[in-house]
Amino acid sequence: MKKRSIFLLTAFLLAFSMFLAACSGGSETSGEKDDDNTAGTEKPKFMSILTGGTGGTYYPLGGAFANIISDETGIQTTAESSGASAENMNTLKDGNAEIAFSQTDIASYAKEGKLMFEGAAVDNVSAIGTLYPETIQIVTTTKSGIKTVEDLKGKKVSVGAPGSGTNPNAEQILEMHGMTFDDINKQDLSFDESTAGIQDGTIDAAFVTAGTPTGAVEGLSATEDVVIIPIAQDKIDALIEKYPYYVKDEVPAGTYGLADAVTTVAVQAMLVVTNDLSEDVVYEVTKAIFENLDQVAHAKGKLISAENAVNGVGIDIHPGAQKYYDEKGISPK
């Protein structure tokens, strides 16, 4: 009888132990499932920043930002090369990344479903903020005799490569001067092709949208007396009122051998983010970037500041980024 009692007790304890083990195992499985299911959480484990080609400016800046975000927020962030602005907006639309570089005008076209985004608007993104200007330079030489935008009438003028952001920049600036592409002999050339054409006399002028100094224009200035055509203040005001992603800018004296600074306009490089990211996450990302710019080695890093990030944005700012700007008392100028 005693042996039977001991046997029953042993069997009971063994069964109880197996029950506990099963419960413990179920709990671990449940925990693993929760860890894997990060997509719906407030703070993701991983994020991607879409940049541009590896030879451009977006890619090294994106790498620096990715390192800062990883270190400051604990979210493992990587920079990915891409086809830049238009491609980046479509990738965000498809939900295949979280943050991206874009020109301000391209982001606006994407949100509004215009131009290259006609019928395919990108409605799930907001801005973190603008970064640095991409200057619209109307390039010619002294021998062309062109001194004003109106002087472009009837001339052979490059408006950028087909499908580029330079094309609508040129169209909108001409619009402010009462002109259309019908008033010029339009040429669709890349920056290098444009400056080569000016040099050999096959075209008269070119629109170039890029950070200054631009390599192709510097190359032209080595053999020609470069002229950058100014845009008058009233035309700048009208342009910005109708197309708020523009900002006033200038090409500094000394650039391309210019004797004086030339007034013009710029669109801007900016960071955009998917609306799926929470206010808290975007706040942390915005704060991390703008309070650690000393870690950005690229020369364009010197032009980036939180104080200027809300100027010329052109689309809605994400609530998380706006929270950071409000804390700092930053508003558009």
**pLDDT computed for residue 244 by the predictor:** 83
| pLDDT of residue 18 exceeding 50 | no
Confidence of residue 9 (pLDDT cuts 50, 70, 90): very low
Phi, psi torsion values for 263, nearest 5 degrees: -80, 135
CB-based contacts of 244, cutoff 8 Å, min separation 6: 312, 313, 314
| pLDDT of residue 21 exceeding 70 | no
The tens digit of pLDDT for each residue in 212-233 reads 888 889 999 999 999 999 999 9
Contact in structure between 274 and 285 (CB atoms under 8 Å): no
Choice between 196 and 210, residue whose per-residue pLDDT is larger: 196
CATH 3.40.190.10 boundaries in the chain: 46-131+269-328, 134-267
| pLDDT of residue 47 exceeding 60 | yes
Cis peptide before 244 (omega within 30 of 0): no
| pLDDT of residue 79 exceeding 90 | yes
Architecture of domain 46-131+269-328: 3-Layer(aba) Sandwich (3.40)
**pLDDT computed for residue 20 by the predictor:** 42
Contact in structure between 268 and 106 (CB atoms under 8 Å): no
Of 223, 215, 222, residue with least CA distance to 190: 215
| pLDDT of residue 62 exceeding 80 | yes
Whether pTM > 0.85 for this model: the answer is no
CB-based contacts of 161, cutoff 8 Å, min separation 6: 167, 188, 189, 190
Please state, in angstroms and rounded to a whole number, the distance separating the CA atoms of residues 232 and 247: 13
| pLDDT of residue 329 exceeding 60 | yes
Find the mean pLDDT for residues 248-265: 96
Choice between 198 and 299, residue whose per-residue pLDDT is larger: 198
Contact in structure between 153 and 183 (CB atoms under 8 Å): yes
| pLDDT of residue 271 exceeding 60 | yes
**pLDDT computed for residue 216 by the predictor:** 87
Choice between 33 and 295, residue whose per-residue pLDDT is larger: 295
**pLDDT computed for residue 28 by the predictor:** 34
Of 249, 257, 253, residue with least CA distance to 208: 249
Choice between 1 and 280, residue whose per-residue pLDDT is larger: 280
Residue-averaged pLDDT of the chain? 87
The tens digit of pLDDT for each residue in 137-181 reads 999 999 999 999 999 999 999 998 776 778 889 999 999 999 999
Report which listed range, 30-44, 55-69, 110-124, is most confident: 110-124
CA geometry: angle at 104 spanning 116 and 298, to 5°?
120
**pLDDT computed for residue 163 by the predictor:** 66
Confidence of residue 58 (pLDDT cuts 50, 70, 90): confident
**pLDDT computed for residue 82 by the predictor:** 87
The CATH number of domain 134-267 is 3.40.190.10: yes
- In terms of Cβ atoms closer than 10 Å to its own Cβ (0-12, 13-18, 19+), residue 39 is exposed
| pLDDT of residue 33 exceeding 80 | no
**pLDDT computed for residue 225 by the predictor:** 96
**Encoding tokens for residue 237?**
């005001």
| pLDDT of residue 35 exceeding 60 | no
Q: CA dist 126 to 111, 116, 176, 232, 288, Å?
A: 9, 19, 28, 32, 18
Q: Which helix (H) or strand (E) holds 99?
A: strand 99-103
